[in-house]
A and B are shown apart, each in its own frame.
Chain A
Amino acid sequence: MSTAARTPPVREGTGWYVYGAVPAGEASVEAFAGVRGVDPSAGVSLIVEGPVAAVASPVPLAEFGAGAIDERLRSPEWLEDKVRAHEAVLEAALRGSAVVPFRFGAIYHGESHIRQMLRDHELLAPTLERLRGAVELGVKGFLDSARFRASREGEGPQASAPGGRAYLLRKQRERALTEDGRAFQVACARESHEALTAVAREARLLPLRQPELSAYEGEMFLNAAYLVDTTGDAQFRERFAALESEHWRDGVDYELTGPWPPYNFVEDDE
C-alpha cells in the first residue's frame, strides 16, 4: 500500500526530485559540476543506499509540491524547461557511470523516503550492472515519396498511349507506385532494424510517430532504440552509414540521435 495518494497538499519547504539511479561505488558528484537541476538554483546530489545512489536535487514544494505542480503542468513552457533539465542531469550521469533513468516526476519529501524507495526497488542494482558500458542510440527512417518515385521511374507500364487510355495507365501506375512504396517501407524497416540489431547489445522497436507530430516531411517507417557498447560505437555507425548510402536513392532519410541515457532499456516492473 502506498501512502502517496493520501499525502495532503504541502506548499512550503523543500522536497527532492529524483532523476535516476547510479551505482554508488562508481558515481561521483563531480560529474554534475555546473549542471542545474529542475530547480535551477540547486545543484545535484547523490543519495546513497547500499550499492545504489539516487541522483537527486532539492526542489521548492511551492512549485513541485502536491497541488502546486498540477498548476505548473498546465504550461508547456514550464514542462519543456523541466524535461530538458531532467535530460541534462541524466546525460551528466551517463558520462560518469551507468544510469537507470526514472520517468519525469519522482518527487519525495525527504532523503529517508528516497532511501526506502531505493531499498524497495531491488532490481536497480542488477539493471545498472546490465547497462554498464552502454548507451542508447535512436534511429529513425523516413521515406521521401518524391525521391522514391523518381527512383522507380521507367519501371512498369509506360503511359505512352493516346488520350483516355494514357490517363488510365497513369492512374494504374500511381496506384502501383503507392503500393510499392508501402511494401518498400516494410521491407526496409525490417532490413535496417536487423542490420543495426546485429551490432547492438539490445534493440527496441518504438511506435512510429504520427505525421502531424513529426517535424519531417517524409513518412516515418522506422523508429527504434539500440543499446550500444560505448566501445562498439564505431561499428554501429559504420553500419548506419552503410544503410544511409545504400538507400538514399530509394528516397530514405535516416536520422541517428544520442547518446541517450538508456530510457528504452529499463522496464517498468523494476
Chain B
Amino acid sequence: MSTPARTANRLPPATLSGREPAQLADVLERVLDKGIVVAGDIQINLLDIELLTIKIRLLIASADKAREMGIDWWENDPFLGRGRRGRLESRIQRLEEAAGLGNGDDRRPDEAEPRDRDQQGP
C-alpha cells in the first residue's frame, strides 16, 4: 500500500543557494557524533547526550510516521501503541539500565565512561 504521504515526506533535493531547513535527525547525526572533539574547560557527560539523542530520534520517528499515516495512535491509543512504541520504550529502558541511569535521579555520573575527549594525552 503506497501512500502519497510517503512521497510528500521526502525532501526535494537541497540546493546550495536556498536550502530546506535541515531535518533534525540529520543535524543530530552531525553536531553530536561528528566534528572534531576538543577538550573544553567544562566536562560534559557524553553518555547523557547519547541517551538524549536516541530519545529525540525516537520522538521524530514516531511523530513523522503518525503524520504519514494520518493518525496519532502513539499518543491516543494505548492498545495500538503498544506494539512499536513498547519496543522502543523497552529499548530506551535497556540502554538506561546499561548506563546506570535506571532510577532517574539516582544517578552517578562517575560511573559513566566518559569518551576520551582529551586529545592532548600522552
Contact = CB atoms under 8 A, between A and B. Distances in A.
Interface string A214-249: 111100000000000010010001001100000000
A57 B11 CA distance: 32
Given A80-B24, A206-B29, A253-B10, 8 more contacts: A2-B120, A79-B56, A101-B30, A106-B40, A212-B84, A256-B11, A257-B14, A261-B35
A266 interface: yes
Interface of A: 1-2, 4-5, 7, 15, 18, 20, 64-66, 69-70, 73-76, 79-80, 83-84, 86-87, 100-109, 113, 117, 120-121, 135, 137-138, 144, 146-147, 206, 209, 212-217, 230, 233, 237, 240-241, 253, 255-261, 263-264, 266-270
Nearest to B47: A73
Nearest to B60: A215
Contact of A18 (B26, B34, B40): B40
B19 to A, nearest CB: 7
7 contacts: A7-B42, A73-B52, A105-B46, A213-B61, A230-B16, A257-B22, A269-B119
A158 B113 CA distance: 57
Given A237-B13, A253-B10, A257-B26, A104 B41 contact: no
A84 B23 CA distance: 10
Nearest to B5: A217
B103 interface: no
B40 A4 contact: yes
Given A76-B59, A146-B2, A213-B58, A7 B34 contact: no
